[in-house]
Amino acid sequence: MKEKLQVYNEKMEKTIRILESDYASIRAGRANPAVLDKITVDYYGTPTPIQSLAAVSVSEARILVIQPWDKSTLKAIEKAIQVSDLGINPSNDGMVIRIVFPPLTEERRKDICKQIRKQGEDSKVAIRSIRRDANDTFKKQKKSSEISEDEQKTLEEDMQKLTDKFCKRIDEIASKKEKEILEI
């Protein structure tokens, strides 16, 4: 029985990992290299992540330093950051790029919290969709006599418990991230 739920458990775990990755890339007023994860630079016609072209480090609490291995990519990296949705202007001194994260305003904090809640809700929708797919599979298996009606009910109940567990985890992760944003 449990092996039938394992596939869905893994899908739900993946949903959690994606949510955590999305939360890591939220600009929270502190320098965090993860905010650059989704930015790619056009490097000889190939979209390349900044981390593949440069060393990214935090020099102070609010300053991110990007030191390209190839100095010719400096302008391209700077341009990619400017056109991204980060909303930050990098400064280029010819050797490295510095990104200074300004302190968050109260209004910006509230906007970020709304974004966090929305992403949390989207993840819960994904979890519920996985549950629906699982229940559909169980119904098909019962219809084709692969499992009994009792097994179907048990699987559906276990699937609901799994769904509840993951929705609770999403709430906890979102709440922790909101608290982090509001305390900065």
| Nearest alpha-carbon partner for 165 in 4, 23, 1, 15 | 15
Over residues 105-115, the pLDDT tens digits come to 888 888 889 98
The CA distance from 175 to 168, in Å, is 10
| 55: helix, strand or coil | strand
Token digits of residue 48: 């390349």
| All structural domains of the chain with their residue ranges | 2-24+105-183, 33-100
Over residues 5-39, the pLDDT tens digits come to 899 999 999 999 999 888 877 766 667 787 788 88
Token digits of residue 63: 């300053």
* pLDDT value of position 3: 78
Give the Å distances, CA to CA, from 56 to 37, 45, 52: 11, 22, 10
- CATH number 3.40.50.300 is the correct assignment for the domain at 2-24+105-183: no
pTM of the model: 0.70
Answer whether residue 102 shows pLDDT above 80: no
First CA to last CA across the chain, in angstroms? Answer: 46
Q: Domain 33-100: state its class.
A: alpha beta
Beta-sheet pairing, 91-92 with 63-68 = unpaired
Over residues 151-175, the pLDDT tens digits come to 999 999 999 999 999 999 999 999 9
- Between 45 and 14, name the one with better pLDDT: 14
Answer whether residue 52 shows pLDDT above 90: no
What is the rounded average pLDDT for all residues in the chain? 87
